[in-house]
Amino acid sequence: MRKSRLAIVGLGNVGQRLLELIQLKRDVLRARFDLELSVVGVCDSTGGAETAAGLDIAKILGLKRAKQGIAAYPDHSRSEMHPLNLVRADEADILVELTPTNLMDGEPGLSVIRAALARKMPVVTANKGPLVLAYPALAALAQKNGVPMLHSATVTGGLPTLNIGTRDLGVAVIEKFEGVVNGTTNYILSRMAQGQSYADALKHAQDIGMAEADPSLDVDGWDAASKLVIIANAVLHRPTTLKDVTVEGIRNITPDHLIAAEERKQTIKLVALAERVGKDYNLSVRPTRLDKTHPLARLGAGTMGVIYHTDINGTISASIEEEDPYPTAAAVLRDIVQIATASA
The set of catalytic residues is 227
DSSP string, 224-257: HHHHHHHHHHHTS-----GGGSEE--STT--HHH
Give the torsion sign (CA, 297, 303, 309, 313). Answer: negative
Q: 108 near 87, Cβ under 8 Å?
A: no
Print burial letters for 10-37: b (CB count within 10 Å at least 16), e (below 16).
Answer: bbeebbbbbbebbeebeeebeeebebbb
Burial label for 249, CB within 10 Å (0-12, 13-18, 19+), is buried
C-alpha R_g of the chain:
21
> What's the N-to-C CA distance of the chain in angstroms?
10
Rounded distance between C-alpha atoms, residue 219 and residue 96, angstroms? 28
> Could you tell me if 118 and 146 are in contact, meaning their C-beta atoms sit under 8 angstroms apart?
no
The conformation of residue 100, written as its DSSP 8-state character, comes to: P
Amino acid at 170: G
At residue 15's C-alpha, the angle toward residues 58 and 61, to 5°, is 20
Q: Are 75 and 23 in contact (CB under 8 A)?
A: no
Strand 77-78 vs strand 2-9: parallel, antiparallel, or unpaired?
unpaired
Of the candidates 25, 80, 73, 33, the residue with the CA atom closest to the CA atom of residue 51: 73
**Do residues 289 and 178 lie in contact, with contact meaning Cβ atoms separated by under 8 Å?**
no
